[in-house]
Amino acid sequence: MPTPHNEAPVNGIAKTVLMPGDPRRSEFIAETFLEHRTLVNNVRGVMGITGTWKDVPVTVMASGMGIPSIGIYSWELYKEYDVDNIIRVGSAGGLQDNLKLLDVILAQGACTTSNYIENLGIHGFAPIADFTLLSAAKDAAKALGIDVHIGNILSSDNFYSAFDAGTEQNNKWKQMGVLGIEMEAAGLYANAAYFGKRALCICTVSDHLYRPEMLSAEERQLGFSQMITIALDTAAKMEELRLASLG
């Protein structure tokens, strides 16, 4: 059913959706990795494209930036389009000393400074990744020979606070073992839980909160491709499990 933010027909979206933040990345992922592509949603230019990876239907569509934005799109995908799995593929700022630029994080949990989950009428909920998705992604990474970090991240509501007044605050998140900071996962995980669906956030480390490092455009491309391949192989595995459960 089309919504104010999604014009795709209800059968136009696959059971697994990859969500980068950036619409241009959505288009890039579809063009680089998917076959048999159809543009199914371009309201606000989010580039929702359905195609196939290893013959498995997959949709890629941008989330925009921040929990309110991914909150809208993922809510509608789960509720109106009966999507089973959403895999966010994004970037994160590293907090731990052992994290290098381009490292891949599988976000087992997502702390947040956002009020989004309170607005669902619940206090103190701990947003976690779906374990089946998480273990499928871990297996996919291993098969691809890509090392991953698995642990907690922080979904922040303020991009600049981490760089600006936030050193003391960052120190505390770092002390608690939080791997990195991004801005969407906790909202996605909460929506998945709300609808009894599955979600996972995979992040590539794009900058480091304690070191002045930046990726070149070329490094970004290659590093992000590793994360996308993990996500797509995870989507293929989930389809295998879905078909097996149908008998």
Nearest residue (CB) to ligand HPA, 54 versus 211: 211
β-pairing, 85-94 with 198-208? parallel
Nearest residue (CB) to ligand HPA, 51 versus 223: 223
Which residues fall within 8 angstroms of residue 161, CB to CB, at 6 or more apart? Answer: 169
Residue-wise burial string across 71-99, b where 16 or more C-beta atoms lie within 10 A, e elsewhere: bbbbbbbbeebebbbbbbbbbbbbbbeeb
Length of the chain (residues): 247
Nearest residue (CB) to ligand HPA, 133 versus 178: 178
DSSP 55-111: TEEEEE----SSHHHHHHHHHHHHHTS---EEEEEEEEEE-STT--TT-EEEEEEEE
Min separation Cβ 3 and ligand HPA, Å: 27
Rounded to whole angstroms, the Cα distance separating 159 from 143 reads 34
Nearest residue (CB) to ligand HPA, 182 versus 233: 182
Nearest residue (CB) to ligand HPA, 8 versus 181: 181
Rounded to whole angstroms, the Cα distance separating 75 from 79 reads 6
Among 94, 112, 113, which Cα is nearest to 104's?
A: 94
Min separation Cβ 175 and ligand HPA, Å: 17
Q: Locate 102 and state its tokens.
A: 């381009």
Which residues fall within 8 angstroms of residue 5, CB to CB, at 6 or more apart? Answer: 43, 44, 46, 72, 73, 76
Q: How large is the angle between the packed helices 67-79 and 185-195, nearest 10 degrees? A: 20
Q: Are 179 and 149 in contact (CB under 8 A)?
A: yes
Active site residues: 207
| Site for ligand HPA, rule CB under 6 A | 91-93, 156, 159, 162, 181-183, 206-207, 209
